[in-house]
Amino acid sequence: MAVVEAEQVPAGLLPGISGPLDLQGLSNADLQRLACEIREFLIEHVCETGGHLGANLGVVELTIALHRVFISPHDLILFDTGHQAYVHKMLTGRLSEFSSLRQSGGLSGYPSRAESEHDVIENSHASTALSYADGLAKAFELRGLSSRRIVSVVGDGAMTGGMCWEALNNIGAAPERPMVILLNDNGRSYLPTVGGFARHLTALRGRGVDGETGRNLFRDLGLEYLGPIDGHDIAAVEGALQEAAAMNRPVVVHCVTAKGRGYAPAEQDDHDRFHAVGLVDPATGRARHSGGRSWTSVFAQEIAALGEERPDIVCLTAAMLHPVGLGSFAARFPQRVFDIGIAEQHAVTSAAGLALGGMHPVVAIYAAFIGRALDQLIMDVALHQLPVTIVTDRAGVTGPDGASHHGMWDASILPVIPGLRVAAPRDSAQLRGLLREAVDVSDGPTVIRYPKANVGADVPAVRRYGTCDLLREDPGAEVLLVSVGPLAGECLGAAGELAAQGVAVSVVDPRWTTPLDPSLLELAGAYKLVLAVEDNTTTGALGARIAQALASTASRTCAATFALPPRFLPQAPRDEILRAHGLDSGGIAATVLKRLTAMSAGSGREA
């Protein structure tokens, strides 16, 4: 991590907190003052850097209480999901680094084992902490480490994911393995939490039991239950956590909190209580800069238009209605959109059921999360040749959310699925057109992928070749750049730079990257060097598949992939990451020249 200069933190209690032990001697009045200082600090700094604001404003008192009862890192504190760990970071010695939050080389927006011994797991994907806790409890039992306690902070939104219930099924059956499950119930993930479990939590907020049935689901599963507790009352939360720890068995401590607490613009935001913000004016909560037109907004417009034309089109989201662009569709067709909670596996198989029932489902999901439903996509959708369209937003490099949110795996993994078609639009016109082509497919699944970025100007084609678009066709060219999705502009820029150096280059956009169009292979076979330029990992990339296909025909064309390395990439602005890996016009041109030089040297040795 880059060295960050210490900030000028106003005098108060907060600058004196260098670690959890510094909380122990504070009076109740001091703790209340500290909570106010933390909120002020969060609002000031997160509005400056961007990040997850609303969720962290809601866990201030809860986190203070956690660190007063449990002794981290001897006791393990797990966050689910990790975006609610900002206060934890502040109380564990990272206050002076907050100006670097989510910046290149700076603090991660999630727990990070590289940052601190207090960060146990780097879970930025929901519903995982209870499974980690179950495994840790088993390990501690086997190793005789009974003095180490495990506490999982789990949001009610995360509890809509199936892994939580798979873990609870095991945890409830093992009363001899103690752990504390702090249920942070703010009634929301982005929008209000959905489903039968959300209704049960609403009932529990009254007396700890369902008023109609007298039941408590956690107790029925074999866990102890304490609550409901006011999650903004430090003393009450402390008392409940101490009682839970003393029980020496699995215990749920149900804390009710308010997302965005203490910041009026967040409390008044019906969409998501400022779940995640860009750069905003802390006084008003308004964005400091008006953003350009995003890929997500183009999808939002087109799917709403398709909804008007096609009554069979239905949409599904995994608790991210507005972030994936389904807000307009939901407003027009509320009966045809389904928020199924943070349950990607269920979303895909539910979509399969909708397709079996005669609908054409569109599942809008982040590219980083589609891996969670890979088995369902293979066995429940593709095997049945069902017309389900998956829209993977945030594909490729996403930027400040870091390794866990880069959508750089889907385009390498999905092509192995028989019958699946994958499209990567280069501009807004292609996104609209490819989405329409996708929902017209009736004999198998389709995927449309695009990045988290502003969409640029439309890139016209010289001519159509099969299902591909030729974007530049230089006479006598021996080099073909295969531009994938929005990298078309950089490839055209590289072709211009190379032409200025006397190297003729053609550029083709395959549009559909899976399966390989025979016309693309025919076109590629006419060139000396074919370089596929992609923003996914090199393993399983389009260029490798082109090379394999050409090799099977004994073609003398040299085909290769120019993509991201097969490793977890750190947080940084999207353009910075692409440039660092040579995926800008200058880097692409340099790679072409390097390969041509190597090919010429090889030919010279053969001669």
Residues 458-477 have pLDDT tens digits of: 999 999 999 999 999 999 99
Q: What is the pTM of this model?
A: 0.94
What percentage of the chain reaches a pLDDT higher than 70?
A: 97
* 156 has pLDDT over 50: yes
The whole-number pLDDT of residue 328 equals 97
Residues 369-392 have pLDDT tens digits of 999 999 999 999 999 999 999 999
So which residues are the catalytic ones? 259, 344, 372
Separation CA 216–CA 203 (nearest Å): 9
Q: What is the mean pLDDT of the chain?
A: 94
Q: Give the per-residue pLDDT at 3.
A: 31
Which token pair is 223? 């866990």
pLDDT at 432 over 90: yes
CB-count exposure of residue 458 (10 Å: 0-12, 13-18, 19+): exposed
- Residues counted in the chain: 607
Q: Which of 219-233, 280-294, 328-342, 546-560 has the lowest mean pLDDT?
A: 280-294
Is the CB of residue 485 less than 8 Å from the CB of residue 426? yes
Specify whether the backbone of 540 is left (phi greater than 0), alpha (psi in -120 to 50) or beta.
left
**Residue 8 scores a pLDDT above 50:** no
Question: Quick check: 7 pLDDT over 70?
Answer: no
> Confidence band (pLDDT; 50, 70, 90) for 182?
very high
What distance in Å separates the CA atoms of residue 409 and residue 78, rounded to the nearest whole number? Answer: 26
* Cβ-based neighbours of 143, under 8 Å, separated by 6 or more: none
Q: Residue holding tokens 């280069």?
A: 426
Q: Tell me the average pLDDT across 335-339.
A: 97
| Tokens read off for 5 | 């200069």
CB-based contacts of 548-556 (< 8 A; 24+ apart in sequence)? 549/516, 549/521, 550/521, 550/524, 550/525, 553/521, 553/525, 555/524, 555/525
pLDDT band at 192 (very low <50, low <70, confident <90, very high): confident
Model confidence pLDDT, tens digit, residues 73-86: 999 999 999 999 99
Band (pLDDT 50/70/90 cuts) for residue 226 is: very high
**Peptide bond just before 81 cis, omega within 30 deg:** yes
Residues with Cβ < 8 Å from 343, sequence gap 6 or more? Answer: 160, 161, 162, 318
Judged against a pLDDT cut of 60, whether residue 23 lies above it is answered with: yes
Residue 414 has pLDDT above 60, yes or no: yes
- Output the six-digit token pair for 506: 């053609």
Buried b (16+ CB within 10 A) or exposed e, 231-241: bbebeebbebb
Least confident of 16-25, 206-215, 442-451: 206-215
Tens digits of per-residue pLDDT, 113-140? Answer: 999 999 999 988 999 999 999 999 999 9
What's the rounded Cα separation, in Å, for the pair 302 and 288?
28
CB 184 within 8 A of CB 58: yes
The SS3 assignment for 228 reads strand
What is 127-170 written as a DSSP string? S-HHHHHHHHHHHHHHHT-TT--EEEEEETTGGGSHHHHHHHHH
Contacts of residue 365, defined as CB under 8 A and 6 or more positions apart, other chains included, come to: 317, 318, 320, 324, 344, 347, 373, 390, 391, 392, 393
Provide the pLDDT for residue 190.
67
Contact 316, 362 (CB under 8 A): yes
CB 484 within 8 A of CB 395: no
Does position 318 have pLDDT exceeding 80, yes or no?
A: yes
Segment holding 191, helix H or strand E: none
